[in-house]
Structure 1
Amino acid sequence: MQWDDMRVFLAVARVESLSRAAPTLRMDAATVGRRIARLERQVGAALFVKSPQGYALTDLGVRMRDHAAEAEASLGLAVEEARGDQIGLSGQIRIGAPDGAANYLLPQVCAAIGADNPGLEIQILALPRVVNLSKREADMALTVSPPQAGRLIVQKVSDYRLHLAAPKGADITTRDDLRGRRVVGYIPDMIFDKELDYLGELGAGGVQLASNSVAVQAMALRAGAGVGIVHDFALPFAPELKRVLIDEVSLTRSFYLVRHASDRTSERLTRFSEALSAGLKAEIARLERQVA
């Protein structure tokens, strides 16, 4: 069994699809399928259950994925040590994040880190769900709740604030002024973290215009669709909006940076996570000062 076969296996295991794994591997889907079939023959058992929805891991496949991911991490550490100390970071690092952070924070922070490390390739994975680090969907992830399970390293990055926002022409000085106004927010059954459920804080009975993306919500508010909860750090990008009922509707949430425990000894990922955390904290503070 060759490591290159395990590399193909891991790529398919992470995305559960031959066609989605193929571009990453720089192969066509048919070649990826043949490589998986060859690996299963070598193992003597099925590693995937194939269906119209994709390739789901069997129990054996899950165990093999976990061992292969650890081997991949160890190989990465060996490469780091072979390179020795270097001035800048290099290689590819992928960060998973909810789309609020992915849209309004990570581009600036990652651009600054990239400018200091020309050999580094940074990928921002924006998902309306929790990123699965055990499947190695990303090297690290930002979350709004600290995970309670799994072999993970969890570090609090920063608090951030959210307020009720409306178009600048809206006359809203009391809660009574909210009556009859349309509410913009999350699609209720697609809220993937309890910290994103803002309706209780707002006291609204429902959402009349909903999206699973906070960027889409902000654009709807800018178009005059109603009122909604907006990150303070997003407001500098939405000059048509203003905060309303600031003292009555004020939320504080937190970002956490999460890494797989097997990456604890990776100097490269540790250095990147330190730069990322510091950059995020500073950027949140900078943007929030603009609307204070």
Structure 2
Amino acid sequence: MNWDDIKILLAIGRTGGLSRTAKLLGVSVSTVHRRAAELEHSVNATLFLRGNDGYALTDIGRSYFTISEQAEEHMIALERHELSGAKVALRIALPELLGQQMILPELGAFQVDQPNLRLEISTSVVPVEFNRREADIAVRLVRPESGRYLVRRIGRLGFGLFCSAGYSENMPAMNKVSDLRNHRLIGWDRDLQYVFLAQWMHDLTDGTAPNLSFDSLNAQLLAVQSGQGIALLPLYVAAHSDLKKLLPNTEFQQDIWLMRHRDTGDNQLAGDLCKVIEQVLYHHKDLLRTGVQPT
């Protein structure tokens, strides 16, 4: 097996389908199909169970998958070491909007005083793969089930339904959850239906498909601000965007988790960065939880 074989095996094992694997790796579905067959031929074993709903790993496939994950982690560490040179490189994964609007400015200010620190920051709704060590430090809204990370809860983030004032003036009455069926809903792309925000909207609306779907929370916010419909947004973001809150009884809170990879235990800068993240979220804890900043 070579590195390309490992990437195919890991991608199929993680996504469970040819089309999702092709999208993840930036190749065609036919290429994934061919390389999967070639991989099985090269190791003289059946690694995948092929079904109408996708691919699943066989017992042998899972064994190869576990070994490949370990090889991948070492490869990523080697690549990052080569790229960083004399600098200390740390990779940080942050939730979209929360990371961009609240945490990122503080990390930038911290880095100014650390000339030998290079930060690689990802702000996305798509969770990082902890088994792959895609991040040294991560802030997540769902607690991970695996990975060599130290995990602690550092706050809560509130969510609610919002629309613009312009949309509100022309929309039908909104008194109960079932009224949502009469409105334009803004939600998540079909490939992101596993995201907890998409699942919450799916359950709330009895599976009603959104009129507009996006692959980012920021795009949903912009669509709401321009009067395109109703979306589920963080309370603090909406409170600072002059939006109208709908159905307050549907609001909910999600725990905010801070993860630090165990291999950074001796890295002072990693520890300091975690403190920066904790401090900024603690300072805004009430705003994040309720959307209201105490006076």
Identify whether the pair has TM-score above 0.5, normalized to the shorter chain.
Answer: yes
What does 1:7-86 correspond to in 2, within 5 Å? 62-67=69-74
Answer whether contact 1:97 1:127 (CA < 8 A) is retained.
Answer: yes
> Percent identity between the aligned chains?
20
**Structure 2 unaligned runs (5+)?**
11-42, 44-63
CA distance in 2, matches of 1:168, 1:279: 30
Which one of 94, 98, 106 corresponds to residue 95 of structure 2? 98
Q: Which amino acid aligns with 2:247?
A: L
1:220 aligns with 2:245: no
CA distance in 1, matches of 2:252, 2:113: 34
> Which residue number corresponds to residue 28 of structure 1?
none
Shift of 1:263: 2.1
Answer whether contact 1:145 1:193 (CA < 8 A) is retained.
Answer: no
CA distance in 2, matches of 1:291, 1:202: 30
Report Cα offsets for 1:170-201 as digits up to 9, x if no partner: 15551265452111111244134335522156
> Which residue number corresponds to residue 280 of structure 2?
279
Shift of 1:122: 3.1
CA distance in 1, matches of 2:253, 2:125: 20
TM normalised by structure 1 equals: 0.64
CA distance in 2, matches of 1:118, 1:284: 30
Shift of 1:256: 1.1
TM normalised by structure 2 equals: 0.63
CA distance in 2, matches of 1:290, 1:280: 13
Report Cα offsets for 1:244-285 as digits up to 9, x if no partner: 222x21111122122222223333212211221221332453
> Which residue number corresponds to residue 83 of structure 1?
none
**Structure 1 unaligned runs (5+)?**
1-8, 17-45, 47-57, 81-89
CA distance in 2, matches of 1:145, 1:238: 25
> Which residue number corresponds to residue 129 of structure 2?
132
Answer whether contact 1:130 1:192 (CA < 8 A) is retained.
Answer: no
Shift of 1:98: 3.0
Report Cα offsets for 1:99-150 as digits up to 9, x if no partner: 2323332323323433554554433212342212443322222222111122
Shift of 1:154: 1.2
CA distance in 2, matches of 1:255, 1:161: 10
CA distance in 2, matches of 1:251, 1:115: 37
> Which residue number corresponds to residue 292 of structure 2?
289
CA distance in 1, matches of 2:116, 2:286: 28
> Which residue number corresponds to residue 258 of structure 1?
259
1:110 aligns with 2:107: yes
> Which residue number corresponds to residue 123 of structure 1?
120
CA 1:201–1:65: 2 relative to 1, 3 Å: closer
CA 1:62–1:283: 2 relative to 1, 3 Å: same
Partner SS state of residue 271, structure 1? helix
Q: Which amino acid aligns with 1:157?
A: I
CA distance in 1, matches of 2:268, 2:236: 30
CA distance in 2, matches of 1:291, 1:222: 25
